[in-house]
Amino acid sequence: MSRLAGKVALITGAASGIGLATTRRLLDDGAMVVAGDIDEAGLAAISPKTSTDRLVTARCDVTQEIDVENLVSLAVSHFGGLDIAIANAGAGGYALLTEHPLGEWQRIIDLCLTGVFLTVKHSGAVMRDNGSIVTVASLNAIQPSRGMAAYCTAKAGVAMLSRVAAMELGPRGIRVNTVAPGLVQTNATGTFFAIPPIVEEFAENAPLGRYASPDEIASVIAFLASNDSSYMSASFVSIDGGGNTGRYPNLPAIFEQIGFQSPST
């Protein structure tokens, strides 16, 4: 399929998990892709396996405005413009509110919320008319989890930021939509997957009874990036096997059961 032929896409957090699967999917759909991440070795590993002149990679820390500006400039200088931006970089952490270190709170808000703000800001500034921005939030934007206050708050912020962006950029035909994955097996969720009760409790609470692969998230992101979703904007798209109908695994209870005090996720 080449529904993205001629389109220039930018993606953050592209070296692993959902970002990597999405980068590959955008390339498969015919797009030119500018892929940013702090993991330069991970970025370098994409290219040999994906032999194409439609991919360029660059180090980009989404918490640093200059890095995000440079990534956007690269799309313009290398491929002549920008049509699609995927604000994907993010990661969680675990701390109960009454013990939450301020620095950890600020780290997660910076990465998950401010990073998306900067990506939308600079992409939106140069994006060609009728472009598409997809932000990656989480089931935790609408479903609270004990021990994940910063992450839940940041992801809820991403959902609202995206709706404001949809209003401001809509007059140029630019659509802004949010995806909200449930549990996906990636490096970020390595701790969860090392603790079977967490995965089991997620599956019990999701009507489809299982977690997702990164490809199942990438295919929805690619749909939102393409004109197949041409009348969608300001949408919050859950990709969680129906997990939003249930409740999130009770992390403190599970950690106590197995004798963990404060793991990071």
Note the residues at the interface with ligand NAD (CB under 6 A).
Answer: 12-13, 15-19, 37-39, 42, 60-63, 88-91, 111, 136, 138, 181, 183-184, 186-189
Place of tokens 């009507």: 207
Residue 49 or 259: which CB sits closer to ligand NAD?
49
Residue 12 or 244: which CB sits closer to ligand NAD?
12
Structural contact between residues 111 and 12, judged by C-beta atoms closer than 8 angstroms: no
Distance CA 132, CA 123 (A): 10
Residue 60 or 195: which CB sits closer to ligand NAD?
60
Residue 82 or 198: which CB sits closer to ligand NAD?
198
Structural contact between residues 35 and 85, judged by C-beta atoms closer than 8 angstroms: no
Structural contact between residues 95 and 262, judged by C-beta atoms closer than 8 angstroms: yes
**158, two tokens:** 């991403």
Which amino acid is it at 52?
T
Taking the complex as a whole, how short is the minimal distance between the CB of residue 5 and ligand NAD, in angstroms?
Answer: 26
Closest CA to 62 of 130, 15, 128: 15
Known catalytic residue: 231? no
Place of tokens 């197995």: 258
Give just the sign of the alpha carbon dihedral 66, 72, 74, 80.
negative
Catalytic residue among 151, 211, 231, 248: 151
Three-class SS of residue 119? helix
Helices (H) then strands (E): counts for the chain: 10, 7
Taking the complex as a whole, how short is the minimal distance between the CB of residue 38 and ligand NAD, in angstroms?
Answer: 5
DSSP annotation of 114: I
Residue 128 or 159: which CB sits closer to ligand NAD?
159
Q: What are the catalytic residues?
A: 151
